[in-house]
Amino acid sequence: MNTELYDALKKLRDYIPRVADILKLGVEAEIGFWNDIVDAKLLSRLAPDFPVVAAICGGGSSGKSTLFNSLVGEHISPTGGTAGINRRVLFSIPARRAGQTDLLVDLARPFKDVPDLLKDNEELTHPGKPLYVANHSALNNMVILDTPDFDTGAKGAYTNREVTRMALEASDILIYIFTNSNYNNRDNTDFIAQMLTGIGKRKCFLVYRVYPSYTKHEVLEHARTVADGIYGKSADQYLLGVYRTDEDNHVAAGERFMEIRPVDAKEPEFLQTLQSINAPGIRLELFSSILADVGQRAENIRNRSEVALDELRLYLATLQMAQSQSVREALKNFPINRLMRRFARIWAATDPTHVKIMRRTGSVIEFPLKMLLGAAGWAKDQMSLEKADTSSANEYAQKVDEDLVTAVTGIHSQTVSPQLAVSSSSKGPLARRMLDNVDLIRARKNLAKGKTPRTEPSGDGVNLSFLVGAHPVVHLEQELLRSRDFKSVLQSILAEKETILGISQGMEADLKKLADNFRNNMGLWRKINQTFWAFLNVLPATVAVTYVLSTGDPVGGAGIKVKLAGLFGAKDLYALFAIPFTTGLKKADRQQIEEMLQVILQTWLKDKSKIVQDLFEKNITGGIIRCARQHIADADQLIIDINDSLLICTKGDEKK
């Protein structure tokens, strides 16, 4: 047997149930049926070292047990006397393998019982489970079955036919023995034909127990009658050979074994023919239809697994989009006073000594900004980076509380819901990938209108709403989250609010790098020019609106517009700062301020987004996200392995 094919089947037997379980396909009964076919019909029989199994069958008093004894070289099975004396199936197993429990189990699967070792020949005369003996003959890779008469009893009430059916199912080939009195018994051959139609046609040797006077022509003619009765017009395709054994009183008396000769003298002896059987070829041909069916069922499960994996990926992407939007909701208010004052301190602290001296003279402040500072009531000595107003800080903290409550409530509701609903611009790369995934899933599942996953256009005609059902993979994690008290979840997140309000060490370092980069990119005059320095101080006191995040370009907005690409999964995200004095700035100053605001805001958002996302994943979404990611990774690799194994099985079936 092709070991590559056998190994591929073993892998499929492992992979198919695992991927179905990982993706929660809900096909346990189908998987169980598939497993049984692979275990009972294929894996055991296609193992490279599995012996050939030959079942001796025939009508009453045809000489089955005598033939069995002759092949194994021992007088084991009772012979002679009343027809139908033997009531059990007897296995003759090569001695070197007779004690192997796995082999006994595999041989007798159709009987649903493991054979016992024969201790007394009398056991064969009573109904019961199969028995076996160790065979020391030359047939060291063949198991031979002696079967009861299948024509004992009256028509319609034969006693041993079910046992015979199981014996035929356990076999790879048949040895059908017949006599002159029953060669044309259509009831017998019809029974064998019917059994083989149900379990798969086995190839067959015909052994004619005949008087010595019968000619070769007569033997072949009668054998043709038997072959046609069993196989019909396809007899030549399944007939392995025709042999004869002449009637002999010494054989009948148990004094010697049968002499089995080929009808055609040019053909090899029977034992030699049995030893040379191409077991892998016969077995693969025998089980080709089963192999094809197993492969087709595996492909169906693989296809459903691919769709389920796409659904899980879509669910994860949708949940992460919902979380990203909730993070954005939690960061609606930007503490520009606190952040810009800190940046100004860093800027001042890192000035070279000669710049600090020149700045103290106040001689390098440009006129437009001098006018602005005067109107604002600022004096030179007021640019001392005084502490932020306490009321402003309290107001910001209160806003953060409100934003967090809104965001936490939203993402918690989405995460425990049986269906996610998220709106996004249809132009973003993530949304386009999700849309393609939705279309693919709907096409492969042939979903009716209204079934999820689906998309719905928003009223503005720009955004799309994605409606995605919770994947079965995450149901358990959802239950665990539902079982937690929401108030405790909310309080746990609010308790870490200071991480959002404060400036972390990491962000402090980032602001320091930003200051260094700005200074390195400035010319000498701009380094000492007080316009930029003054702006850093006056900005916190003059910003009319903190900032507004928008996925659309805020055309016509008064103030400085900052584009934040790549944040929150949005292609275009804008922050609009309403700064009343920007019209009094030179174009170069305005451009530099815009650049500064962009990087500072991006730095703040990056830092705080990570903090809020970590809080959400720690308290709400993390279990589900980790579960989905792990199942995606496991299922993805299994599907790749399944495809590789199916390819080998398909090639093996084509070579039969």
What residues are paired with 239 via a beta bridge?
204
Identify the DSSP state of 556: T
Q: Is residue 585 part of a domain?
A: no
pLDDT at position 538 is 46
pLDDT at position 219 is 97
- Nearest-Å Rg of the Cα atoms of the chain is 43
Q: Is residue 190 part of a domain?
A: yes
pLDDT at position 426 is 80
Nearest to 92 by CA among 59, 136, 58: 136
pLDDT at position 485 is 96
Q: Is residue 174 part of a domain?
A: yes
Q: pLDDT band at 395, cuts 50/70/90?
A: confident
Residue 541 has pLDDT above 50, yes or no: no
Q: Name the strands in the sheet holding 419-425, side by side, starting at the edge strand that comes first in the sequence.
A: 419-425, 463-469, 454-457
Most confident of 123-137, 272-286, 619-633: 619-633
pLDDT at position 532 is 53
Beta strand 239-246 with 261-262 is antiparallel
pLDDT 10s digits, 111-162: 888 999 999 988 988 889 999 999 988 888 899 999 988 765 545 555 677 8
Report residue 301 CA to chain centroid gap: 10
What's the rounded Cα separation, in Å, for the pair 617 and 226?
75
Q: Is residue 268 part of a domain?
A: yes
Q: Is residue 556 part of a domain?
A: no
Overall average pLDDT of the 562-580 stretch: 52
Greater confidence (53 vs 372) lies with 53
What's the rounded Cα separation, in Å, for the pair 577 and 596?
13
Please state the pTM of the whole predicted model: 0.76
Overall average pLDDT of the 456-479 stretch: 91
Q: Is residue 152 part of a domain?
A: yes
Q: Which domain holds residue 61?
A: 52-278
Nearest to 407 by CA among 490, 502, 478: 490
What's the rounded Cα separation, in Å, for the pair 575 and 553?
9
Q: pLDDT band at 200, cuts 50/70/90?
A: confident
pLDDT at position 146 is 94
What is the number of structural domains in the chain?
1
CATH number at residue 92: 3.40.50.300
pLDDT 10s digits, 309-356: 999 999 999 999 999 999 988 987 767 667 767 777 777 777 666 556
H or E element, residue 179: strand 173-179
pLDDT 10s digits, 6-41: 999 999 999 999 999 999 999 999 999 999 889 878
Residue 567 has pLDDT above 60, yes or no: no
Of 217-221, 301-305, 649-653, the least confident? 649-653
pLDDT at position 282 is 85
Q: How many CB atoms lie within 10 A of CB 329?
A: 18
pLDDT at position 504 is 79
Burial of 323 (C-beta count, 10 Å sphere; 0-12/13-18/19+): buried
pLDDT at position 379 is 34
Backbone angles phi, psi at 487, to 5 degrees: -60, -40
Of 93-97, 246-250, 327-331, the least confident? 327-331
pLDDT at position 553 is 46
Q: pLDDT band at 48, cuts 50/70/90?
A: confident
Which pair of structure tokens corresponds to residue 615?
Answer: 């809080």
Share of the chain above pLDDT 70, in %: 78
Residue 252 has pLDDT above 50, yes or no: yes
Helix and strand counts by DSSP (H, E) for the chain: 26, 15
pLDDT 10s digits, 483-520: 999 999 999 999 998 888 888 788 888 888 887 887 77
Q: pLDDT band at 52, cuts 50/70/90?
A: very high
pLDDT at position 205 is 97
Q: Is residue 502 part of a domain?
A: no
pLDDT averaged over every residue in the chain? 82
Q: Is residue 323 part of a domain?
A: no
